[in-house]
Amino acid sequence: MNETLRDELLEMARLDGKVRAELAASGELFDAGYEPRMARVHERNARRLLRIIESAGWPGTDLVGPDGAEAAWMILQHAIAEPGLLRRALPLLQAAAREGRASPRHAAMLEDRIRFFEGRPQRYGTQFDWDAEGKLSPGEVEDPQRLDERRLSVGLPPLAEQMEEARMRATSEGDRPPADHPAYARAREEWAAAVGWWTD
């Protein structure tokens, strides 16, 4: 195991969490748009993770231990302004999950993350956003009748359980639905197009 790399990933994740907590406490995290300080942390971490992937492949549990692998996945999930990195990492993470070096849950959530930002239906319903009724919702999912079955196959709880948890967390952190949902949705789509999630 590479202890130095593990420690680096844990520190990157720690900084991400620290900045997020500070911004959530001040209310700045939930202001309109992608908060600049948070965006800078995510961008810096994403650049470093890309270099790690290029030199060592996906940093799975065999290389950085379970906590290091969890940190790498969290850093990747937060690199939302780097669609190329998320798309490049997905098959690596899926392979690592098949080989027992990463969590199948992590691979499923990354796949959903990519689908969500590309405007496609999710497979596992793990990515939530404010809907037009002012509720946190996963939006459209593929084959909804078998959704919880797919979730169970990768170690995810039933959707209703995750949705309740997400809504409780949003309330506790002070996150609120946008006052003007159509404007919020337009801004999200414009951002997604500008960073390269949408190509047409």
| 154 shares its domain with 95 | no
Same domain, 165 and 195: yes
Do 71 and 160 share a domain, yes or no?
no
Hunting for tokens 């948890």 — which residue is that?
A: 165
pLDDT of the residue at 3: 95
Task: Average the pLDDT over 130-147 and give the result.
Answer: 94
Q: Inform me whether the pLDDT recorded for 112 exceeds 90.
A: yes
Same domain flag for 76 and 11: yes
Q: What is the pLDDT of residues 1-40, one digit of tens each?
A: 899 999 999 999 999 999 999 988 888 877 767 888 999 9
- Whole-angstrom Cα distance, residue 40 to residue 48? 13
| Confidence at residue 200, expressed as pLDDT on a 0 to 100 scale | 60
Q: Which domain holds residue 169?
A: 124-200
pLDDT band for 70, please (50, 70, 90 cuts): very high
φ, ψ for residue 130, nearest 5 deg: -70, 130
The Cα–Cα gap between 44 and 90 comes to 20
pLDDT tens per residue, range 35-61: 889 999 999 999 999 999 999 999 999
Q: What are the Cα distances from residue 175, in Å, to 3, 15, 77? A: 36, 21, 19
Total number of domains in the chain: 2
Residues 81 and 35 in one domain: yes
Query: Do 101 and 62 meet the contact criterion of CB atoms below 8 Å apart?
Result: yes
Q: Does some domain include residue 112?
A: no
Give the mean model confidence (pLDDT) for residues 94-98.
97
CA 172 to chain CA centroid, Å, is: 20
Q: Looking at residue 175, what is its pLDDT? A: 87
Question: Are 3 and 98 part of one and the same domain?
Answer: yes
- What average pLDDT does the segment 123-133 reach? 95
Q: What's the token pair of residue 181? A: 């949902």
CB 123 within 8 A of CB 142: yes
Of 24-38, 55-69, 97-111, 181-195, minimum mean pLDDT range: 24-38
Beta-sheet strands, E only, within the chain: 129-130, 136-137
pLDDT at 2: 94
pLDDT in tens, 114-123: 999 999 999 9
Structure tokens at 59: 């940093």
| Tokens found for residue 61 | 């549990």
What per-residue confidence (pLDDT) applies to 25?
Answer: 86
92 & 4 share domain: yes
Residue 108 lies in a domain: no
Q: Give domain status of residue 41, yes or no.
A: yes
pLDDT surpasses 90 at 89: yes
